[in-house]
């Protein structure tokens, strides 16, 4: 029996001002799966996330989430529907405490008691954050800051997490911990869509893979098949993925 996708993009055109990056992108994401998006620099990987999360205008095409149209919705509306976006780099309030950063993550929640309960759950899940709950976020290591970003994203009990370059700037041991958290998220029923500079490692923990080329979907399939595809390996799993994805 076919499973309906949790997210679909149909012929989406989007970009930055006069620069069009997505040229009619069509793709879908299965629920309760980790999907990694790969492709050369400038292929539109990060731009797909920004289009989904309402951070750039969509000039053509549609986006559906959980069977409902969400094209053109604001990030706040999308958060309330269960989509969380963690961009690359650090996206915290550095002068605020760990706990206050978590409180800001739940700013759309109307029940303060539920918010406090969720925060306690995050601190239980990440003991290092509980230990540092009253410290400024700027005093955390890079790995601890990434865990705080993950924890803040989890506050809203998301159905879909979009995460861009989760391993950037992290030591290999911390990368493994972050990837383990993404696996646990998937196993708990959250759909994860990821762009990752370390494409081989990301595909190794993924269920599905999407290959973008020049703002269009070039290939979609099981992650292990894409990982083992010699032509994909030659084109996309070598040095071409080592850099960042600016502006696409």
pLDDT at 184 over 70: yes
Question: What is the share, in percent, of the chain residues with pLDDT greater than 70?
Answer: 93
Which residues contact residue 235 at a Cβ distance below 8 angstroms, ignoring those fewer than 6 apart? 40
pLDDT at 247 over 50: no
Q: What digits encode the pLDDT tens for the residues 99-150?
A: 999 998 887 788 889 999 999 999 999 999 999 999 999 999 988 998 999 9
Task: Please tell me the least confidently modeled range out of 18-22, 81-85, 161-165, 238-242.
Answer: 238-242
Supply the pTM of this predicted model.
0.90
pLDDT band at 240 (very low <50, low <70, confident <90, very high): very low
pLDDT score for 1: 61
pLDDT score for 150: 92
> What span, in angstroms and rounded, lies between the C-alpha atoms of 183 and 191?
10
Domains observed in the chain: 1-82+160-243 (3.40.50.300), 89-157 (no CATH)
Instruction: Return the structure tokens found at 63.
Output: 């986006």
> What span, in angstroms and rounded, lies between the C-alpha atoms of 82 and 59?
24
Measured from the Cβ of residue 238, the count of other Cβ atoms closer than 10 Å reads: 11
> What span, in angstroms and rounded, lies between the C-alpha atoms of 150 and 138?
16
pLDDT at 204 over 90: yes
pLDDT at 97 over 70: yes
Helix (H) or strand (E) holding 162, with range, is strand 160-164
> What span, in angstroms and rounded, lies between the C-alpha atoms of 81 and 156?
9
> What span, in angstroms and rounded, lies between the C-alpha atoms of 183 and 18?
38
Of residues 169 and 136, which shows the higher confidence score? 136
Instruction: Check residue 196 and give left, alpha or beta (phi > 0: left; psi -120 to 50: alpha).
Output: beta
Residue pair 106/121 in contact (Cβ under 8 Å)? The answer is no
pLDDT score for 9: 98
> What span, in angstroms and rounded, lies between the C-alpha atoms of 197 and 202?
8
Q: 37-61: b or e for each residue (b if 16 or more CB lie within 10 Å)?
A: bbbbebbbbbbbbbbbbbebebeeb
Q: Are strands 34-38 and 7-16 parallel, antiparallel or unpaired?
A: unpaired
Q: Residue 82's closest CA among 153, 27, 26? A: 153
pLDDT band at 54 (very low <50, low <70, confident <90, very high): very high
pLDDT band at 61 (very low <50, low <70, confident <90, very high): very high
What rounded mean pLDDT belongs to the chain? 89
């Amino acid at each position: 029996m076919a499973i309906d996708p949790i997210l679909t993009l149909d012929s989406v055109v989007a970009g930055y001002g006069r620069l069009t990056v997505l040229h009619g992108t069509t793709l879908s994401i299965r629920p309760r799966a980790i999907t990694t998006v790969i492709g050369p620099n400038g292929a539109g990987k990060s731009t797909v996330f920004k289009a989904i999360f309402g951070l750039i205008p969509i000039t053509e095409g549609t986006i559906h989430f959980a069977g409902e149209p969400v094209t053109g919705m604001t990030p706040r509306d999308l958060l309330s529907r269960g989509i969380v976006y963690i961009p690359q780099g650090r996206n915290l309030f550095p002068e605020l405490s760990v706990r206050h950063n978590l409180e800001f993550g739940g700013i759309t929640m109307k029940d303060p008691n539920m918010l406090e309960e969720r925060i306690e759950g995050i601190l239980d899940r990440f003991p290092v954050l509980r230990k540092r709950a009253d410290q400024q976020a700027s005093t955390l290591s890079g790995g601890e800051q990434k865990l705080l970003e993950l924890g803040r994203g989890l506050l809203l009990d998301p159905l879909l997490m979009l995460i861009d370059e989760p391993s950037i700037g992290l030591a290999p041991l911390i990368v493994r911990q972050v990837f383990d958290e993404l696996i646990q998220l998937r196993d708990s029923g959250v759909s994860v869509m990821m762009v990752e500079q370390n494409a081989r490692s990301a595909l190794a923990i993924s269920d599905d893979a999407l290959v973008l080329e020049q703002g269009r979907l070039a290939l979609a399939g099981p992650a292990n098949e894409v990982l083992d595809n010699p032509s994909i390996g030659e084109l996309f799993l070598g040095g071409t993925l080592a850099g960042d994805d600016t502006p696409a």
